[in-house]
Amino acid sequence: MNSNPYSWIEESLETIHKAHWYRSVKTIQNRAGAMVELEGKSVINFASNDYLALAADERLINAAIEALLTYGTGSTGSRLLSGHREIHRELESKIASLKQTEDAMVFSSGYLANLGTMAALVGKRDLILGDQYNHSSLKNGAKLSGATVIDYLHCNTEDLNKKLSQYRLSYRRCLIVTDSVFSMDGDLCPLPEILDLAQEFNCMLLLDEAHATGVMGKTGAGCVEYFNCTGRELIQMGTLSKALGSLGGYVAASEKLIDFLRNRASSWIYTTALSPADTAAALAAIKIIENEPQRRQQLWKNTALLKKQLSGFNILPSLTPIICLGLDSPQQALELAKKLLEAGIFAPAIRPPTVPTSRLRFSVMATHQASHFQQLGDVLRG
């Protein structure tokens, strides 16, 4: 035994490089926005989740500053210990009112919301049925819960129905989990049909609205609203870090379910409360979403402009501001991303293992200009 126990890491990194799967960070040097300074170069930003351009909105910044001055930087403890502030509760009420649910609770991130919720709701005697393309946090939440996990084919309710018929009766509880907007494709889950199946087979449904909140539905409440399913019994979760321009996650559901999670969700009980600044910024964001529907309207106008510029290319089916250009290999995706970057356009190559097939992913912001889409179209056609 003379080998170094860490030497495998170097070999693994080499394998990652060889497969063109290697990732590294890129530095943005100014405020978030449709144009950013990326490593010394001004670029059009198609890589952000800040759909409504709220992350650099003065009102969010000022709300965060005010919370900092009032409460300080850290929450100093878990919510159940010394971390709870009035603005946490105010934010939770605001989320519940946006989602039209009885109650809501905020977590330190969307990832933690999924881990904690899933592990609290199901266990060894239970079943989780998840869409095969679900977000990493749902997949890991499923593992953490200890339940039996079975994937169904992407957005395929026939397959879900088949698996429910086959397995449901062998388990105590069953939780169906799905993204509403699939973050790396931009398509939508067939929510009404999934809700019907959940009801038919006596299953709970956890719906991940991370990319839908603030974007989908008439008031920006998400896909539940978009599909006219408001008021139906399910568990909605999402993030404060995408269209809401802040940081944190939430679960919105019945009063009893939220009360249960406050007593059982480890990733909420044993972690420090959301910081005052993040909480205040998210609260300001929801107020803006309520009062300024024109931001969402502009986002959808811009989404149509992007689709127009990309027509004729291999665009994956999407009903959202996430538009993907399908490509044959990770190498091709990397080369095209590089070419765009040289022309001043920032759009990430998304590759396995994140997705099964390589692509360039464009996400639209309300503050993109028509000229930004024109420039992208010119470079792609050029």
Ligand X SMILES: *Cc1c(COP(=O)(O)O)cnc(C)c1O
Residues contributing to the site for ligand X (CB under 6 A): 109-111, 114, 135, 137, 179, 183, 208, 210-211, 239, 241, 249
* DSSP H helices in the chain: 7-18, 58-71, 86-99, 110-121, 136-145, 157-167, 191-200, 223-226, 255-264, 266-269, 276-291, 293-310, 330-342, 370-381
Smallest distance, Å, CB 110 to ligand X? 2
Smallest distance, Å, CB 278 to ligand X? 10
Tokens for 155? 């957005």
Nearest in space to 188 (alpha carbons), one of 219, 229, 147: 229
CB-CB contact of 133 with 182 (8 Å): yes
Nearer of residues 111 and 227 to ligand X, judged by Cβ: 111
Given the DSSP bridges, would you call strands 127-131 and 148-152 parallel, antiparallel or unpaired? parallel
Cα–Cα distance measured from residue 338 to residue 349, given in angstroms and rounded to the nearest whole number: 9
3-class DSSP assignment, residue 258: helix
Nearer of residues 114 and 271 to ligand X, judged by Cβ: 114
Nearer of residues 135 and 163 to ligand X, judged by Cβ: 135
Residue closest to ligand X, measured at CB = 110
Smallest distance, Å, CB 3 to ligand X? 37
Smallest distance, Å, CB 186 to ligand X? 11
3-class DSSP assignment, residue 271: coil
Nearer of residues 114 and 367 to ligand X, judged by Cβ: 114
Cα–Cα distance measured from residue 368 to residue 379, given in angstroms and rounded to the nearest whole number: 17
List C-alpha distances in Å: 220 to 61, 228, 288: 21, 13, 11
Smallest distance, Å, CB 134 to ligand X? 8
Smallest distance, Å, CB 381 to ligand X? 30
Strand order in the sheet with 35-38: 35-38, 41-45, 345-346
Nearer of residues 109 and 236 to ligand X, judged by Cβ: 109
Nearer of residues 103 and 208 to ligand X, judged by Cβ: 208
